[in-house]
């Protein structure tokens, strides 16, 4: 059913857009690269016989008709990336969904429900520190105020949208909300080692850990590195480094929570200047929301104490807060049955990484199919999943879609 050569050649072709020197991919939202990638995916959607459109926030949608009055089955993922990311995180899901619908068309299989494939706008949050913009819009939870957030150059999401040809106002934003959705299904690479350890190519996802992203800033005093005695300094980087060390310690004490400082800016960033200001991000996640929030409170308390002891100003802002979400029990059963049908052992696992389906919590039942990641590496140019596993993922999606359609 699945034409894996076609799927893999599309994956390869798509990965050339935004390719970095070491073989990674950088495609941020509302950029030239992203628009070019979307145009290519739109072409694949047309080849699959889908009707293609962009919604108000720039989600790319390919539709297939069904019986009048029945709710839509939504399939999707994203094609934006982290800085110097891999070529599988996101595209595997979008291209598998397109492949499934193309295969159904070629086989002349009709479904009762309308089906839409969606390539969501900005899942990663790389550009604005605010992810899942497209899926928030589809869920109806994106607010106009959210679009005031800015990128590193001070361009707001709203401005970036306008520049990319998607000018938005509150009324238009409402049109991106999807009502009458039966279910959301996504294929994604695992980005961890569980499937590899279990020696299987695909797995069923039980739920998704929820991220909190914070921005912290410590303000000390930028002074001469030679002329200021050690006892008279307010070195913001020393304070920041103490807090960052504690982030790791606290998270280690609260499994299964994880916490990461992945981005830092030192100002003025000179060899002979005592750092006056340091700003960094903290990404805290867990499938257990209480645990995650305990970690957050402990980190904030330590940061406040450290800043006070050193007589420095501390600023904390929240970039995003997404609750963990469980995958729908019934859909999990259908996915497990589909996995068994292709002769694979059924392994179920939670997702540590975030995904667009999280935005549908309490709105749309979701199901996710994971594809094995080699060495568990992701958000890295060395990210890799094998064609034979991607084929299994697409096959499981195909089967799950048919089962869901009959329900």
Annotated binding site for Zn(2+): 78, 89, 124, 188, 379
Say whether residue 124 binds ligand GLV (CB under 6 A). Answer: yes
Burial-class residue 52 by CB neighbours within 10 Å (0-12, 13-18, 19+): middle
Which residue is at the shortest CB distance from ligand GLV? 354
Say whether residue 377 binds ligand GLV (CB under 6 A). Answer: no
Residue given tokens 């549908």 in the structure block: 360
Size of residue set near ligand GLV by CB under 6 A:
4
Size of residue set near Mn ion by CB under 5 A:
4
Binding track over 184-223 against ligand GLV, x by CB under 6 A: ---------------------------x------------
CA–chain centroid gap for 346, Å, is 25
Task: Please state, in angstroms and rounded to a whole number, the distance separating the CA atoms of residues 67 and 111.
Answer: 8
Least Cβ distance, residue 258 to Mn ion (angstroms): 14
**Minimum CB distance to Mn ion smaller for 7 or for 168:** 7
Say whether residue 296 binds ligand GLV (CB under 6 A). Answer: no
Task: Please state, in angstroms and rounded to a whole number, the distance separating the CA atoms of residues 91 and 81.
Answer: 9
Task: Please state, in angstroms and rounded to a whole number, the distance separating the CA atoms of residues 64 and 3.
Answer: 19
Least Cβ distance, residue 333 to ligand GLV (angstroms): 26
Total residue length of the chain? 407
Tell me 197's DSSP state.
Answer: H
Least Cβ distance, residue 74 to ligand GLV (angstroms): 19
Say whether residue 80 binds ligand GLV (CB under 6 A). Answer: no
Say whether residue 211 binds Mn ion (CB under 5 A). Answer: no
Q: For the segment 227-286, give every residue that binds Mn ion (CB under 5 A).
A: none
- Name 205's bridge partners: 349
Say whether residue 328 binds ligand GLV (CB under 6 A). Answer: no
**Beta strands 202-208 and 115-120: pairing type?**
unpaired
Least Cβ distance, residue 318 to ligand GLV (angstroms): 15
Q: Judge if the upstream peptide bond of residue 268 is cis by omega within 30 degrees of 0.
A: yes
Determine which residue in the list 242, 353, 377, 384 makes contact with Mn ion, applying CB under 5 A: 353
Q: For the segment 34-93, give every residue that binds Mn ion (CB under 5 A).
A: 89-90
Structure tokens at 26: 């950088």
Task: Please state, in angstroms and rounded to a whole number, the distance separating the CA atoms of residues 216 and 279.
Answer: 6
- Dihedral angle sign, alpha carbons of residues 64, 334, 370, 257: positive
CA–chain centroid gap for 393, Å, is 18
Least Cβ distance, residue 201 to Mn ion (angstroms): 18
Say whether residue 393 binds Mn ion (CB under 5 A). Answer: no
Beta-carbon-side half-sphere exposure of residue 215 (alpha carbons within 13 Å): 11
Least Cβ distance, residue 90 to Mn ion (angstroms): 5
Binding residues for ligand GLV, rule: CB under 6 A, are 124, 211, 353-354
Binding residues for Mn ion, rule: CB under 5 A, are 89-90, 353-354
């Amino acid at each position: 059913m699945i034409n894996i050569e076609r799927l893999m050649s599309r994956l390869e072709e798509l990965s050339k857009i935004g390719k970095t020197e070491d073989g990674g991919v950088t495609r941020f939202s509302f950029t030239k690269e992203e628009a070019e990638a979307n145009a290519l995916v739109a072409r694949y959607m047309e080849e699959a016989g889908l009707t293609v459109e962009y919604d108000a926030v720039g989600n790319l949608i390919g539709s297939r008709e069904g019986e009048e009055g029945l709710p839509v089955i939504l399939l999707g993922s994203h094609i934006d990336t982290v800085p110097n990311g891999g070529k599988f995180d996101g595209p595997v899901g979008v291209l598998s969904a397109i492949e499934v619908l193309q295969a159904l068309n070629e086989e002349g299989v009709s479904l009762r429900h309308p089906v839409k494939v969606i390539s969501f706008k900005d899942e990663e949050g790389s550009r604005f520190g605010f992810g899942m913009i497209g899926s928030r819009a589809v869920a109806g939870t994106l607010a106009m105020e959210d679009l005031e957030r800015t990128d590193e150059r001070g361009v707001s999401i709203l401005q970036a949208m306008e520049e990319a040809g998607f000018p938005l106002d509150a009324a238009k934003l409402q049109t991106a909300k999807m009502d009458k959705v039966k279910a959301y299904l996504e294929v994604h690479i695992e980005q961890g080692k569980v499937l590899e350890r279990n020696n299987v190519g695909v797995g069923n996802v039980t739920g998704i850990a929820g991220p909190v992203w914070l921005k912290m800033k410590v303000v000390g005093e930028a002074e001469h590195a030679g002329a200021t005695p050690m006892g008279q300094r307010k070195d913001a980087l020393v304070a920041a480094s103490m807090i960052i060390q504690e982030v790791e310690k606290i998270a280690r004490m609260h499994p299964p929570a994880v916490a990461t400082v992945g981005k830092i800016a030192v100002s003025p960033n000179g060899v002979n200047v005592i750092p006056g200001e340091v700003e960094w991000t903290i990404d805290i996640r867990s499938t257990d929301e209480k645990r995650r929030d305990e970690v957050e409170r402990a980190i904030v308390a330590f940061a406040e104490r450290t800043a006070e002891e050193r007589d420095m100003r501390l600023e904390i802002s929240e970039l995003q807060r997404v609750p963990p979400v469980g995958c729908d029990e019934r859909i999990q059963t259908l996915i497990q049955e589909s996995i068994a049908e292709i002769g694979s052992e059924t392994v179920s696992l939670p997702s540590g990484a975030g995904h667009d389906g999280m935005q549908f919590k309490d709105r749309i039942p979701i199901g996710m199919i994971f594809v094995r990641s080699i060495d568990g590496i992701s958000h890295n140019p060395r990210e890799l999943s094998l064609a034979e596993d991607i084929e299994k993922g697409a096959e499981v999606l195909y089967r799950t879609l048919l089962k869901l359609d009959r329900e």
